[in-house]
Structure 1
Amino acid sequence: MQKSINEQIKKLVTQMIPFDNTEKLHIEDTIKWIDSGEEIFRIEKPAIPPKHLVCYTVFVDPILKKILLLEHKKSLLLLPNGGHVDKGELPFNTALREIREEMDEEGMFLFDSKLPLFITQVETVGLTTSHTDVDLWYVFKRDSTVPINDNTVEFKREFGNYYWLTFPEVLAMDIKKSDPNIHRFLNKLELRLI
């Protein structure tokens, strides 16, 4: 079963269309990594193995052109919500699970696909042991005028406040306050929304 899941994840990654050369390199490296037979799932907290799969579940209001960012307590950054892909779990199921756990709601994919929109590899920062997250970015449609359920146990444990920011606000934001790839992600998202 493990190989089957890894092959399914590899298939998702190979179907992605890179936005730029950096994403192309991340796709190629991720495929090699999966093919290597190394463990791709986090099997022990905080960072074993030191490179593992995670998902961002990015809420987007396509009408008002806003994105949801949250104060992440461990990284000390403004990030989309999301989490680690459990062993044997497909990433799009991780994305849906994380939304249920953190916000007690069902996610609705913005695009009619279980493919992530974006992939990155990044060294983590903040209060946890440094490691590499191979991050699959899934995009979900949400009305930014409807309040987020920030009263779940999981939300309170992981996040401080949350903000719906316009695309220009995110692009103007100091990149050091968020994921170093957030501007590239948003540029790719904007092209997809045209």
Structure 2
Amino acid sequence: MRTSVGVVRGVVAGIVPCDEVEAGHRSETLHWLRSTDDVFRRLKPATPPRHLVSYVVPVDPADGAVLLVDHVNAGLWLPPGGHVDPDEHPAETARREAYEELGVPVEGGLVGEEPVFVTVTRTVGIDAGHTDVSLWFLLRLDRTRPLTLDSGEFRSARWWSPAEVRDVDPTRFDPHFTRFCSKLQQMRC
């Protein structure tokens, strides 16, 4: 087994699922990681057809609001993030993506340095049809911090309060986002 894939297996094994769906995604991901070393995207958009992604979810500690970006390709409001490069640790991907997509250097690190959520999702939008195995990392970020958005990937960005997330049509988000928010509320980050 490729050393970096073994590291990812350990990271995924450490995630405590919040519900049966996440438990199923965690189990499916662990099975996949045992069955192949071909887990890093090599060619855009879908080679291999299932690959690793790190989301980095900025959370304002003052009120629990989360920052989402209006993603051009997906046509959804998503957390910033991107594909894990070959042999890159997923936490490093999250830090890199926070800087590349938001202009936010992550000097102090991510909350806990480990993902808090795992999902397996069939993609939609322009690059539809492959499967992203996404590890969701938290980043405490004050909403007053200036951002420099990647205009090639996003139309805009905005902070969503927990009440706004509950009141909006959930199909505007990643299909697992509202479950993630429920887990986030249980964690009280």
TM-score between the two structures when normalised by the length of structure 2: 0.95
Matched residue type, 1:190: Q
1:182 aligns with 2:177: yes
Matched residue type, 2:173: S
Q: What is the match of residue 137 of structure 1?
A: 136
Contact 2:122 2:128 in 1 (8 A): no
Matched residue type, 2:66: I
Q: What is the match of residue 85 of structure 1?
A: 84
RMSD: 1.4
Q: Which runs of 4+ in 1 moved over 6 A?
A: none
Q: What is the match of residue 9 of structure 2?
A: 10
What is the distance in 1 between the residues matched to 2:170 and 2:43?
A: 30
What is the distance in 2 between the residues matched to 1:19 and 1:129?
A: 27
Contact 2:2 2:37 in 1 (8 A): no
1:44 aligns with 2:39: no
Percentage identity across aligned positions? 37
1:99 aligns with 2:87: no
Contact 1:30 1:134 in 2 (8 A): yes
CA-to-partner distance for each residue in 1:86-126, whole Å, 9 max, x for gaps? 01111000000111111222124453x22101000011100
TM-score between the two structures when normalised by the length of structure 1: 0.92
SS of 1:64's equivalent? coil
Contact 1:58 1:68 in 2 (8 A): yes
What is the distance in 2 between the residues matched to 1:103 and 1:136?
A: 18
Number of residues of Structure 1 aligned to a counterpart in Structure 2:
188
Q: What is the match of residue 31 of structure 1?
A: 30
5+ unaligned residues in a row in structure 2: which ranges? none
What is the distance in 1 between the residues matched to 2:139 and 2:109?
A: 4
